[in-house]
Amino acid sequence: MSVETFMAKRGEVPSKFIEKVKGAVGEENISQSECDLISYSLDYWLYGVFLSQYGKLPSLPSVVISPRNSQEIQSILKYANEYKVGITPFGAGSGVLGGAIPIEGDAVLNLQRMNRFISLDGTSCVAEFEGGIIGANLERELNHRGYSMGSIPQSFYCSTLGGWISTRAVGQFSTKYGKIEDMVLGMEVVLPDGNPLNIKPVPRRSTGPSLKELFLGGEGTLGIVTKAVVSVHPLPERTIKQSFVFDSIEVALEVVRKILRGDAKPAVVRIFDEPETARYFEEIENKVTLIFISEGETDFVELEGKLIKRIAEENGGESFGENPVDIWLEKRFDIGLGPIIMQQGGIVDTIEVVSLFKDAVNLYNDMVSAMRAVEGAISVSGHYSHFYREGACLYITFAGFPKDPSRYYKDSWTAAMEATLKNNGSISHHHGIGFWRKEFMQQELGPYGVELLRRIKFALDQNGILNRGKLI
């Protein structure tokens, strides 16, 4: 094999393990072919993607196993424990922190064969899916039946429900519909020792600490999510799109804060800083743009629309109508520029963090200025999205043409994380930790926090087989 690996050599697994797994999943669902090993070697960790164009990959899996159901996964994990084989779960490979990279050359567990819609309960507003279904396909199944889950991340077309759960993902319409932890009612999980766990779907329970929280953000280190029951909504009857421009991020944040204190729940709320405004909306110059989408029952939506308009205009917002919202809707999945920049030797990536409103302006200013100061930086821009009554997620997009790409990438991340921690923010809002961000976990959780996670991991996975080198 001629590809170069820069993190670990391809691992080896005992032939007896291979034989036993073949017996569980069938010969055609286990592979060590060169093309398969290359295809499951990397997710969408962007520095890895940058290097992949030169034939450099983090590492190659020892083997790729593609089970069809929970029972097969139970067998695989039991064999993995017996033979001490590391297992890296692979959802759809859209994660941007390297969470699905077999960084120690481990076996990859491909979960994409489990991609079916199972059932819809319109009375209870819940639907069940297998974990490997892609978001766009999940939403299509629901829309066809008159419902929506309301989870539309930028990776909508290339990420799975299981991946959303494992990374605590968030969609663009989150301010109304909630984040993945608000949407998941129950799930079927295979624990690291191969035993099944069924968390039944109910709106809430008081049965000790919530076990499902272990897997919402578990990043495949604590179990494999094979099915989930999620909350769904009838398709909206009415949609109102509004936009306003402001002189500063500070004023725009204050407007959103007041709107959410008024109990409004717009589906989409986004504040674009000046560089992002310039990139998205040609007609708006030297301003900050704030867009809203309200949707749902007509009476509620119209009331919410009026509230938004009143508060925005009372605070100096100039209305720009629906057009900026339509432009954003059209461009929101277009990541086409990234590969073009990478081909020219440029580095691109995004970082999402979160803070309370009281720290939000300082966080933006500190993070942007620190990242712009990194040698090689060309562009650092940001938007606030995913709002709460208490605060919001800051999402930074950065690009550079550095002499030393590795150094630039590392320094940009360090600058961003340090600015976040300085301003009392959390180092990740919804992309997760993977392997790339884990060095900041000590500062995020404190030494006892990390130790607690380690003990939880050991309690569930004594042989340390699941997703080694990730999260902690």
Partner 1 sequence: MENKKELEQITNCALCANMCKYSCPVYLATGNETVTPQKKARLILYKKKAFIEDEKGFFDVMFQCAMGGACKVNCLYDNFDLRDFIQGERSEAFKKGILPDETRKRVETFTRFGNPDGERQLIQKGKGEIGYFVSCSTYNDQQLLKAVEKILARSGEQVQQFGGADICCGAPLYYAGDMEGFKKAAEKMKGEIEQRKLRKVISSCPTCIKMMTEIYDEIGTHLDAEFIHITEFLDHLVKEGKIKVNKANATATFHDPCILANDIGVTTAPRDIIKMLGFEIKEPIYFGKEAHCCGEVPGGRIGDSKLVDKVNAMRINELKETTADVYISACPTCKAALSDIDMKDIAEVVAEQIIDG
Q: Which residue lies nearer to partner 1 by CB, 29 or 463?
A: 29
Residue in 83, 300, 333, 357 binding partner 1, rule: CB under 8 A: 333
Among 92, 183, 291, 311, binds partner 1 (CB under 8 A): 92
Q: Is 119 in the site for partner 1 (CB under 8 A)?
A: no
- Site for partner 1 (CB under 8 A): which residue of 88, 148, 155, 397? 155
Based on the shown chain and the rule CB under 8 A, indicate whether residue 34 belongs to the binding site for partner 1: yes
Instruction: Candidates 298-306, 308-316, 336-344, 420-428: pick the segment binding partner 1 (CB under 8 A).
Output: 336-344
Nearest CA to 238 among 319, 302, 147?
Answer: 302
Structure-token pair, residue 373: 């100061």
Residue 33 binds partner 1, judged by CB under 8 A: yes
231 forms bridges with which residues in the sheet?
126
| Min dist. Cβ of residue 79 to partner 1 (A) | 21
Any contact of residue 339 with partner 1 (CB under 8 A)?
yes
Closest to 234 in 3D by CA, of 126, 115, 118:
126
Contact between 334 and partner 1 by CB under 8 A: the answer reads yes
Applying CB under 8 A, does 144 fall inside the site for partner 1?
yes
Q: How near is the Cβ of 266 to partner 1 at its closest, in Å?
A: 26
**Using the rule CB under 8 A, is 432 a contact of partner 1?**
no
If one asks whether residue 112 binds partner 1 (CB under 8 A), the answer comes out as yes
Please select the residue that binds partner 1; options are 11, 93, 192, 425, rule is CB under 8 A.
93
Can residue 336 be called a binding residue for partner 1 (CB under 8 A)?
yes
Q: Which is nearer to partner 1, 207 or 344 (CB)?
A: 344
Binding site for partner 1 (CB under 8 A): 1-3, 28, 33-36, 38-40, 44, 49-50, 52-53, 55, 66, 90, 92-94, 110-115, 132, 134-137, 140-141, 144, 155, 157-158, 333-336, 338-340, 342-343
